[in-house]
Chains A and B, each alone.
Chain A
Amino acid sequence: MQFWGYKRSEGRAGIRNHVLILPTCVCGSETARIVASQVRGAVNIVFNTGCSDVQANTDMSQKVLTGFACNPNVYGVVIIGLGCETVGHKPLREKIQAMTSKPVVSFGIQEEGGTLKTIEKAVRAAREMASEAGRQQKELCDISELLLGIECGGSDATSGIASNPAVGELSDLLVDLGASTMMSESIEWIGGEHVLAKRAATPEIHNQIIEVCRNYEEHLKAAGQDCRAGQPTPGNKAGGLSTLDEKSLGCIRKGGTRPIVEVLEQAARPTKKGAVVMDTAGFDISSITSMAAGGCNAIIFTTGRGTPTGNAIVPVLKVTANARTYKAMEDNMDVDLSAIISGEKTYKEMGRELVDVIHDVCNGRMTKAEAYGFSDIAVDHVCRFV
């Protein structure tokens, strides 16, 4: 299988060709928003951190920022910094330039003499970059270039019974075609980690999966939080999910059945092809943020109760097997999988249909969240601000 994508000098192909307006920290976010609003083809990130942080959080922010810049859906990057943040626009630009040959420019609001002067220069730079991006032709790319992120959020009992198994089937079919898929949300492996670990390609990976869960529980315990107190969420419970274990056993089905070839730290880029997993929060927006930073081209998102979320860099495709949710939130839902619940179709049949939908999204079909221009992000934190 092939799709029409944008070839990159290094790494996998993109399915979009965005000019990314990237703030170094929260103080550049509003300026970045205005710059993006002035240039067709530009998208912006609203970054709510990046300064006054402990080192571990700064490291996470840097992984997300550089990961976003290197995402194959990004043609080029315009960085907007302030001037006194922990990692300024110049060091961030140099870090990104060491990782990718795509065009990267940067500006500092204090150096330029305020937001208006920064906007003037940054809009000009972004306009030129978008103009060049428009000249790049799509080329036929093998499906092995695709990395699909797999997410669930606002889950109810239909998620684990129907939409997650269908997406698991999609994942298996894509992996068999040579593509790669990434499942995350490690807190939602707890209770099903022994089942997930059976998919490990090696004994080392088996134990990594178990240890990721143990470490997650212990991390939260150190902060005085029982992981079973926050999970399932009130909405999950109302949707029929009684325990974290029940939620997890449904969640892990979205990753399919193929061997897990790599366990990644948050926002890290896979080094292997096939089915990989990433250690992220169960908080869906944060998990998508980390998967986009890890280089995913698109995210398929199963939901039971419905959610509008979207990401500026990667299209997020919403699927639900809850017929009521699809009907009530059709403006936010992309695919109706309720035929699985009604017994008209099997999850395997719907998984096969999803291959065509993902193929369409790769070829340029906009998801609903993408068409609305949604740009949610949340960077995971390990500690309070300083």
Chain B
Amino acid sequence: MKINALIIDDTDNVVTCVDEVSAGSEVCYRKGDEILSLKALEDIPYCHKIALKDFSEGDEVIKYGEMIGRTNTAVKKGGWLWDKNVYSVPRDYDSELVEVTGGKN
């Protein structure tokens, strides 16, 4: 089966399609030594993301092992995740600062 999608981090819940994918066709990606596949529920354009699980509204979308946004609607496994159904969440910068001890450098 031809690999037509890439996963970046093992914890990701999306993969990126590196070919056009038409509704009903198989999307295959390599995760470690395994080759996994799922069925596309809709057409997915080249370079776009497909859901690896059922997303409820507000669920975290994970790519690079990090949250890239949340869904603004439910998206089924095999659905297309794009800028119309994923939104960015503002940062909490204060929580990211670290304690600086001692003098400069």
Q: Which residues of A contact B (CB under 8 A)?
A: 156-158, 160-161, 190-195, 197, 202-204, 206-207, 210-211, 213-214, 217, 228, 232, 237-246, 249-250, 304, 322, 324, 341, 343
B interface vs A, CB < 8 Å? 3, 6, 8, 16, 18, 45-49, 61, 63-64, 66-69, 81-83, 86-89, 91, 93, 96-101, 104-105
CA distance A175 to B70 in the complex (A): 36
Q: Which residue of A lies closest to B69 (CB)?
A: A243
Q: Is the CB of B18 within 8 A of A341?
A: yes
Q: Could you tell me the distance between the alpha carbons of A156 and B47 in the complex, rounded to whole angstroms?
A: 7
State A245–B66 Cα separation when bound (angstroms): 9
What would be 20 A-B contacts, judged by CB atoms less than 8 Å apart?
A: A157-B47, A158-B18, A161-B16, A190-B91, A191-B91, A192-B64, A195-B66, A197-B96, A204-B100, A206-B97, A207-B97, A213-B91, A237-B83, A240-B45, A243-B69, A243-B87, A245-B89, A246-B63, A249-B64, A341-B6
Which residue of chain A has its CB nearest to the CB of B88? A243
Give B9's nearest chain A residue, CB to CB.
A249
Shortest beta-carbon contacts, A-B, top 3: A240-B47, A246-B68, A157-B47
* Residue contact A245 to B3, C-beta cutoff 8 Å: no
B3: A residues at CB distance < 8 A: 343
| Contact yes or no, B47 A239, CB < 8 A | yes
Q: Which residue of A lies closest to B7 (CB)?
A: A161
Point out the residues of chain B lying under 8 angstroms from A202, CB to CB. 105
Does B93 lie within 8 Å of A213, measured CB to CB? yes
Q: In the complex, what residue of chain A is closest to B84 when comparing beta carbons? A: A242
- In the complex, what residues of A have CB within 8 A of residue B18's CB? 158, 341
